[in-house]
């Protein structure tokens, strides 16, 4: 049945695309990526001149280094104050290299980068918000996709899987871009949206995957879809309604018996009960000393939908995803778990990693290795969708707020 659906998806997509679906050219689309917030000091390097403009189009130039500090209502640019709430930094067609500065020391924007610079293309926008700055990278959509693919999957994986990730990444970014006109940015450069590390990790395999699918996105009724993906489903993929209260017909869940080779397929973890109590309080839950944690309801896919927490001040019902957030997403890989023991330390065992909505990355890897095309894999995990050039899409409907 699964194979039939995959083959049917491949045939259907072939008919929809025709032999010449890949466009010769695609209009450049810029994506606004929030790299980090609350920036106090920033160091920028380039091989050429750094051009800086403010919101009044006043311009300055620096070469080859620019150091920016927040000081009261002013921004200090290489020692000279500028009163501005927004600055744009660019170096023509050259990349910018970024470090955060603090206490006289250079630090990487992301912990995984150690002390290396974040190298990016496009331009940087600094936007004052509160006492710090938002650091936003305006970057060409295809260059953004190249920066996400090696951060989300291993570039050594099968070429068709890299194409799958490229199309999903592009689709998700375009969906957010079309719905974010009132925000300062379209996507966050982290697990909240998609992990983006600029030029880091880009090689010939990544470039080939992105360029060979240039401009292609998954659509539903002519609009880009909310192309959710996660590491390991370890069973049926989850309904978006369970995780995010989003009623999306292409994110209702499909069987995924393909990811058994994932290192996250099965796991066991533990944490201190005091950590959970503290973190729940910080998130606004009124909780006393916890004496029991019991799964209360399960999703159709078998994941913990809600839990009952018994504590010294009463009882609390929270979602399985709330527990992951409170303990840490890196600690509890998924909501497909069982409580093995409870005391000063809680031990749970489970399966899978991530929210399990939409594309399963390890499952897609296996399907690619079995010979399925990127288009048939995407059609399987996002049923009812169509592969289409982004220039032919319309804006998706604005998501309705979940009912209280």
Terminal alpha carbon distance of the chain = 38
d(CA 266, CA 305): 19
Convert the pLDDT of each residue in 90-138 to its tens digit: 999 999 999 987 666 778 887 666 558 899 999 999 999 999 999 999 9
> What is the spatial order of strands in the sheet that 86-90 belongs to?
59-62, 50-54, 86-90, 123-129, 132-140, 30-39, 187-188
Q: What pLDDT does residue 230 have?
A: 97
Using a 10 angstrom Cβ sphere, with 0-12 exposed, 13-18 middle and 19 or more buried, the burial of residue 395 is middle
State the Rg of the chain over Cα: 23
For 233, the token pair is 């489903």
Q: Which residue has tokens 């150091």?
A: 67
Q: What pLDDT does residue 102 have?
A: 64
d(CA 209, CA 239): 28
DSSP code string of 219-235: EETTEE----EESB-SE
Q: What pLDDT does residue 20 have?
A: 34
Using a 10 angstrom Cβ sphere, with 0-12 exposed, 13-18 middle and 19 or more buried, the burial of residue 83 is exposed
Q: What pLDDT does residue 108 have?
A: 80
Q: What pLDDT does residue 1 have?
A: 57
Beta bridge partners of 51: 61, 90
d(CA 25, CA 291): 61
Contact by Cβ (8 Å): 218, 380? no
Q: What is the DSSP-derived secondary structure letter of residue 47? A: S
Q: What pLDDT does residue 5 have?
A: 65
Q: Which residues of the chain have pLDDT under 70?
A: 1-5, 7-28, 102-104, 111-115, 400-404
Contact by Cβ (8 Å): 218, 225? yes
């Amino acid at each position: 049945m699964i194979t039939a659906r995959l083959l049917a998806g491949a045939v259907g997509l072939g008919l929809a695309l025709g032999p010449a679906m890949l466009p010769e050219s695609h209009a450049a689309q810029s994506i606004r990526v929030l790299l980090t917030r609350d920036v106090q000091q920033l160091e920028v390097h380039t091989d050429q001149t750094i051009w800086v403009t403010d919101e009044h189009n006043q311009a300055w130039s620096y070469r080859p280094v620019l150091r920016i500090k927040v000081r009261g209502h002013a921004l200090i640019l290489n020692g000279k104050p500028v009163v501005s709430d927004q600055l744009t930094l660019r170096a023509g067609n050259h990349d910018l290299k970024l470090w955060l500065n603090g206490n006289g020391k250079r630090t990487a924007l992301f912990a995984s980068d150690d002390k290396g610079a974040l190298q990016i293309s496009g331009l940087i926008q600094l936007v004052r918000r509160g006492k710090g700055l938002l650091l936003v990278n305006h970057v060409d959509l295809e260059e953004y996709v190249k920066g996400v693919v090696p951060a989300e999957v291993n570039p050594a994986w099968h070429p068709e899987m890299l194409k799958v990730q490229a199309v999903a990444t592009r689709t998700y970014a375009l969906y957010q871009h079309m719905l974010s006109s009132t925000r300062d940015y379209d996507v966050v450069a982290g697990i909240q949206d998609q992990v983006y590390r600029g030029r880091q990790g880009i090689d010939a395999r990544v470039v080939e995957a992105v360029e060979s699918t240039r401009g292609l996105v998954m659509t539903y009724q002519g609009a880009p879809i909310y192309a959710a993906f996660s590491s390991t489903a370890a069973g049926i993929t989850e309904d978006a309604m369970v995780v995010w209260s989003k009623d999306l017909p292409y994110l209702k869940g499909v069987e995924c018996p393909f990811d058994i080779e994932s290192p996250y397929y099965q796991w066991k973890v533990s944490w201190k009960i005091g950590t959970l109590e503290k973190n729940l309080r910080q998130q606004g839950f009124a909780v006393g000393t916890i004496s029991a944690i019991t799964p209360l309801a399960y999703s159709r896919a078998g994941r913990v939908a809600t839990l009952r927490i018994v504590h010294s001040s009463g009882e609390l019902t929270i979602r399985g995803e709330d527990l992951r957030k409170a303990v840490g997403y890196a600690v509890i890989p998924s909501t497909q778990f069982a409580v093995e023991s409870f005391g000063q330390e809680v031990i749970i065992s489970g399966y899978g990693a991530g929210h399990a909505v939409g594309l399963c990355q390890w499952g897609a890897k296996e399907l690619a290795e079995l010979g399925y095309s990127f288009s048939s894999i995407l059609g399987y995990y996002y049923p009812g969708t169509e592969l289409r050039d982004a220039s032919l899409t319309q804006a998706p409907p604005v998501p309705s707020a979940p009912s209280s």
